[in-house]
Structure 1
Amino acid sequence: MHYVEASTLDTPATSMAAPRVYAWLVFALTFGLLLSDYMSRQVLNAVFPLLKAEWDLSDTQLGSLSGIVALLVGVLTFPLSVMADRWGRVRSILLMATLWSLATLACGIATNYGEMLAARFFVGLGEAAYGSVGIALIISIFPTYLRSTLTGAFMAGGAFGSVVGMAFGGVFAAHFGWRSAFFAMAIFGIALVVTYALTVNERRLRGSDAAAEQLRHSRPGFSMSLRNMFAGLFSTTSVICAYIGSGLQLFIMAAVIAWMPSYLNRYYAMTPDKAGVTAAMFVLIGAIGMVLCGVVTDRVCRHSPPRKLGMAIAYCLTTALVLGIAFQLKPGVLQLTVIGMGMFLVAGTCGPAGAMVANLTPTPIHATAFATLTLANNLLGLAPGPLLTGVLADRVGLMDAFKLVPLMALFAALTFWIGRHHYAQDIARVQAQTRAEA
Structure 2
Amino acid sequence: MAMDLQMADPGRPDPDGYLFGRGPAWFALIMTVALMMVDYIDRQVIVSLFPHLKQAWGLSDKQLGSLVSAVSITVAVGAMPIALWADRHSRVKSIFLMAMLWSLACISCMFTRSYGQLLAARAVVGAGEAGYGSVGSALIASHFPARMRGTLMAVFFSVGSLGSVLGVMLGGVIASHWGWQAAFGVVGVPGLALSLLYIFVRDYRTVQLTPRLDRATQTPASMARAIAAALARSPTMLWVSLGGSAQVVVLSTVWAWLPSYLNRAQGLAPAQAAINAALVVLCGAAGAVLTGALVDRAGRRRQRGKLLVLALLCLLSMAVLIPAFAAPGRALSHHQQLAWIAAGGLLMTCSTGPVVAIVIDVIHPGIRATGSAVLAFFLNLFGLAAGPFIAGMLSDAWTLPRAMAAMPAFSILAALCFLVAARSYEADVQRIRDQVQAEEAAGACNTSLRGQTP
Normalization by structure 1: what TM-score? 0.88
Quick one: distance in 2 between partners of 1:345 and 1:268? 23
Q: How far 1:284 moved relative to its partner?
A: 1.1
The one-letter amino acid paired with 1:39 is I
Q: Secondary structure at the match of 1:200?
A: helix
Partner residue, 1:81: 83
Q: Go from structure 1 to structure 2 and tell me whether the alpha carbon gap of 1:430 and 1:83 turns closer, same or farther (over 3 Å shift).
A: closer
Quick one: distance in 2 between partners of 1:11 and 1:159? 34
Q: How far 1:163 moved relative to its partner?
A: 0.8
Q: How far 1:86 moved relative to its partner?
A: 4.6
The one-letter amino acid paired with 1:4 is D
Contact 1:74–1:128 (Cα < 8 Å) also in 2: yes
- Is 1:238 aligned to residue 236 of structure 2? yes
Map of 1:335-374 to 2, 5 A cutoff?
Answer: 335-374=337-376
- Is 1:321 aligned to residue 316 of structure 2? no
Quick one: distance in 2 between partners of 1:51 and 1:242? 36
Contact 1:26–1:200 (Cα < 8 Å) also in 2: no
Q: Go from structure 1 to structure 2 and tell me whether the alpha carbon gap of 1:225 and 1:273 turns closer, same or farther (over 3 Å shift).
A: same
- Is 1:175 aligned to residue 181 of structure 2? no
Q: How far 1:320 moved relative to its partner?
A: 1.8
Partner residue, 2:281: 283
Quick one: distance in 2 between partners of 1:335 and 1:318? 17
Q: Go from structure 1 to structure 2 and tell me whether the alpha carbon gap of 1:29 and 1:238 turns closer, same or farther (over 3 Å shift).
A: closer
Quick one: distance in 1 between partners of 2:144 and 2:312? 34
Contact 2:75–2:380 (Cα < 8 Å) also in 1: yes
Deviations 1:304-346 (A, max 9, x none): 1111111111012112211111122123222211111111111
Partner residue, 2:447: none
Q: How far 1:281 moved relative to its partner?
A: 1.1
Partner residue, 1:65: 67
Given candidates 402, 419, 422, the residue that maps to 2:421 is 419
Q: Go from structure 1 to structure 2 and tell me whether the alpha carbon gap of 1:410 and 1:47 turns closer, same or farther (over 3 Å shift).
A: same
Contact 1:18–1:143 (Cα < 8 Å) also in 2: no
The one-letter amino acid paired with 1:55 is W
Q: How far 1:172 moved relative to its partner?
A: 0.5
Q: How far 1:280 moved relative to its partner?
A: 1.0
Q: Secondary structure at the match of 1:47?
A: helix
Map of 1:13-92 to 2, 5 A cutoff?
Answer: 13=13, 16=19, 18-20=21-23, 24-86=26-88, 88-92=90-94
Q: How far 1:35 moved relative to its partner?
A: 2.0
Contact 2:175–2:182 (Cα < 8 Å) also in 1: yes
The one-letter amino acid paired with 1:63 is G
Partner residue, 1:217: 208
Quick one: distance in 2 between partners of 1:41 and 1:413? 27
Q: How far 1:255 moved relative to its partner?
A: 0.6
Map of 1:193-204 to 2, 5 A cutoff?
Answer: 193=195, 195-196=196-197, 200=199
Given candidates 224, 229, 248, the residue that maps to 2:246 is 248
Q: How far 1:74 moved relative to its partner?
A: 1.4
More displaced, 344-353 or 301-310?
Answer: 344-353
Quick one: distance in 1 between partners of 2:194 and 2:9? 39
Q: How far 1:169 moved relative to its partner?
A: 1.2
Quick one: distance in 1 between partners of 2:146 and 2:422? 28
The one-letter amino acid paired with 2:112 is A
- Is 1:126 aligned to residue 133 of structure 2? no
The one-letter amino acid paired with 1:103 is A
Contact 1:159–1:284 (Cα < 8 Å) also in 2: yes
Map of 1:132-147 to 2, 5 A cutoff?
Answer: 132-138=134-140
Q: How far 1:26 moved relative to its partner?
A: 4.9
Quick one: distance in 2 between partners of 1:134 and 1:10? 19
More displaced, 395-404 or 143-152?
Answer: 143-152
- Is 1:156 aligned to residue 152 of structure 2? no
Q: Go from structure 1 to structure 2 and tell me whether the alpha carbon gap of 1:356 and 1:224 turns closer, same or farther (over 3 Å shift).
A: same
More displaced, 23-32 or 48-57?
Answer: 23-32
Q: How far 1:16 moved relative to its partner?
A: 4.2
Q: Go from structure 1 to structure 2 and tell me whether the alpha carbon gap of 1:155 and 1:424 turns closer, same or farther (over 3 Å shift).
A: closer
The one-letter amino acid paired with 2:292 is G
The one-letter amino acid paired with 1:404 is A
Normalization by structure 2: what TM-score? 0.85
Partner residue, 1:302: 300
Identity %: 38
Q: How far 1:11 moved relative to its partner?
A: 7.8
Deviations 1:81-106 (A, max 9, x none): 22234554444333322221221122
Quick one: distance in 1 between partners of 2:273 and 2:382? 27
Q: Secondary structure at the match of 2:3?
A: coil
Quick one: distance in 1 between partners of 2:175 and 2:280? 20
Number of aligned residue pairs: 425
Q: How far 1:384 moved relative to its partner?
A: 0.6
Quick one: distance in 1 between partners of 2:370 and 2:383? 19
- Is 1:3 aligned to residue 9 of structure 2? no
Partner residue, 2:189: 187
Quick one: distance in 2 between partners of 1:250 and 1:300? 22
Quick one: distance in 1 between partners of 2:315 and 2:416? 10
Q: Go from structure 1 to structure 2 and tell me whether the alpha carbon gap of 1:81 and 1:432 turns closer, same or farther (over 3 Å shift).
A: closer
Q: Secondary structure at the match of 1:327?
A: helix
Quick one: distance in 2 between partners of 1:272 and 1:2? 52
Partner residue, 2:451: none
Quick one: distance in 1 between partners of 2:288 and 2:20? 29
When the two chains are superposed, the root-mean-square deviation of aligned CA atoms in Å is 2.7
The one-letter amino acid paired with 1:283 is V
Q: Secondary structure at the match of 2:22?
A: coil
The one-letter amino acid paired with 2:294 is V
Quick one: distance in 2 between partners of 1:11 and 1:370? 21
